[in-house]
Structure 1
Amino acid sequence: MNPSAECCERARVTHEECFCPIITPKLAAILNPTRIIRLIQGCGRTVPRNFKCGSITTPP
């Protein structure tokens, strides 16, 4: 399923520095990092390889 226009608008304007500090190991266990990366990419943004965001590191 493609992300909504509202979701993509938020993904385009939000900087990683704003939300990465709040991603704790407990929150990361609830979130599906692969799904989040696909959502961001589906909105036209790129996710750098080996990017550290809170307790999650994106795949190489």
Structure 2
Amino acid sequence: MESIINFEEILDLVGSPENRLKRYRACVNEFDRLQYDDPFIKQIRLEIIHLEEQVKKLQPI
């Protein structure tokens, strides 16, 4: 059975940018520990950069 919502959309709907950033970092840390890398992990790394910029903009000066 195919989902009508993809994994990326699910993660975008769950939590604040800060929480998503924590989840993504935890995922990448685990994949690093396992010495595993693929295109999906690279996509997560790019999303981390995007979320870090987004969180910086949200933080009060």
TM-score in terms of structure 2 length = 0.32
TM-score in terms of structure 1 length = 0.32
**Which structure features the higher share of strand residues?**
1
Larger radius of gyration: 2
